[in-house]
Amino acid sequence: MSSVEAASIQSEKARAASGRLWERLLAEAEQLHILTMFLKAIPPEFIHFEFDDLRTYAAEYHPSEHRMILNRSLSFNAAGGTLKPLTKMTHKELEVLYHELFHAYMDYLSSSGEPSAEVSGVSNGLIAFARRQQACRYGEVAITPVVQRKDETESRYLAESESWEALNETWAVFIGWAIWNQLEVQHKGGGSILQHQHQADQWMQRLEMAFQKGELRGYYVPEDPDERRVAQKRFLAKQSQLSWQEAVVLMKQVLGFPDKFISQAEKRHGLAVLSTQNSNCQMSNVQ
Ligand SMILES: [Zn+2]
């Protein structure tokens, strides 16, 4: 057998393996009653999973190579071969995994030429919406120069790549948050938040608390080497956290919450907060 043939058999095997992994991941997510709409839009062989002993972060995603590097603890028997079953993961591990899977989804939409190509009709121009939010919400942000002192803030004008990262991290934080809280609420009540009103109420209440406490905040790595020497990452302040409008779009277009659930959450949000957030973004052109 030539080395070319051997290599093509190898890559065929790898494709089949990632296809099986993806099928399993979707089935297990369903078993856990977690919302998986965006995962169904990603082709099975798109992400290359790798495992490593990561010291600083629990996971990394490299868009240029569609590579997801997860901590070895997320692999089957911690052997670094394939992904551990979702049903065996802790809620925290699932939060990390979904955060990274969302990065992969944005990468997939960006590289598949969205928004002109309506990717299986699911995305509905998510990248276009993201670009508008990037321009009007993430171009100038408030940061917390000292992470522990949440009330001390400074203003920063972000470069193109910084504001795109800040948006992507903010959105991924929300996706991870949504999954973790869904799992917690369902674990306590035993049943899907889409089928049990009590669990749905709990989840919505947690969402309100998260907005009030300013938990839905992203970060970016400063481009300027001088600033990077001071801080590897800059965390956004509460006033630059996720907007309600962004949360609704992510719930609907990424996670796939039903309209009824979203309108209930919106009603509750309207009662809880008159307007603590000043979103300068126009509501027009939102799909
Ligand atoms: Zn991230």
| pLDDT for 151 | 86
Strands 234-235 and 219-220: antiparallel
- The Å distance, Cα 71 to ligand 1 centre, comes to 14
More confident residue, 43 or 7: 43
More confident residue, 44 or 124: 44
- The Å distance, Cα 4 to ligand 1 centre, comes to 37
More confident residue, 195 or 114: 195
- The Å distance, Cα 59 to ligand 1 centre, comes to 8
- The Å distance, Cα 88 to ligand 1 centre, comes to 22
Give the pair of three-digit tokens for residue 212. 């009030």
- The Å distance, Cα 51 to ligand 1 centre, comes to 17
User: Which residue from 161, 126, 127, 162 is spatially nearest to 141, judged by alpha carbons?
Assistant: 162
Contact, 94 vs 180, CB < 8 A? yes
- The Å distance, Cα 241 to ligand 1 centre, comes to 15
Specify the amino acid at residue 166. A
User: Which residue from 135, 153, 162 is spatially nearest to 280, judged by alpha carbons?
Assistant: 135
Whole-number mean pLDDT of the chain? Answer: 88
Binned at pLDDT 50, 70 and 90, residue 117 comes out as very low
- The Å distance, Cα 92 to ligand 1 centre, comes to 14
- The Å distance, Cα 172 to ligand 1 centre, comes to 6
pTM of the shown model:
0.89
- The Å distance, Cα 3 to ligand 1 centre, comes to 38
| Percent of the chain residues past pLDDT 70, beyond the cut | 90
Q: Cα separations (Å) of 145 from 35, 139, 142, 153, 240?
A: 35, 17, 9, 7, 14
Average pLDDT over residues 23-35: 92
- The Å distance, Cα 169 to ligand 1 centre, comes to 5
Contact, 240 vs 217, CB < 8 A? yes
Binned at pLDDT 50, 70 and 90, residue 114 comes out as low
Rounded distance between C-alpha atoms, residue 183 and residue 144, angstroms: 30
- The Å distance, Cα 274 to ligand 1 centre, comes to 30
Binned at pLDDT 50, 70 and 90, residue 112 comes out as confident
- The Å distance, Cα 168 to ligand 1 centre, comes to 7
Average pLDDT over residues 53-70: 87
Q: Is the pLDDT of residue 35 over 50?
A: yes
- The Å distance, Cα 167 to ligand 1 centre, comes to 10
Domain boundaries, the chain: 1-90, 124-287
- The Å distance, Cα 198 to ligand 1 centre, comes to 31
Specify the amino acid at residue 47. I
- The Å distance, Cα 7 to ligand 1 centre, comes to 33
Contact, 211 vs 273, CB < 8 A? yes
Q: Cα separations (Å) of 136 from 194, 201, 244, 268?
A: 33, 32, 14, 26
Average pLDDT over residues 193-212: 93
Helix 126-137 and helix 91-111, axial crossing angle in degrees, nearest 10: 100
| pLDDT for 273 | 63
Q: Cα separations (Å) of 196 from 79, 182, 187, 189, 275?
A: 38, 12, 12, 9, 29
pLDDT tens, 152-185?
999 999 999 999 999 999 999 999 999 999 999 9
Binned at pLDDT 50, 70 and 90, residue 282 comes out as low
| pLDDT for 55 | 76
Q: Cα separations (Å) of 152 from 162, 222, 235, 239, 267?
A: 21, 19, 12, 11, 32
Q: Is the pLDDT of residue 226 over 80?
A: yes
- The Å distance, Cα 178 to ligand 1 centre, comes to 15
Q: Is the pLDDT of residue 142 over 60?
A: yes
Contact, 285 vs 124, CB < 8 A? no
Q: Is the pLDDT of residue 261 over 70?
A: yes
- The Å distance, Cα 68 to ligand 1 centre, comes to 11
Strands 59-62 and 67-71: antiparallel
- The Å distance, Cα 133 to ligand 1 centre, comes to 18
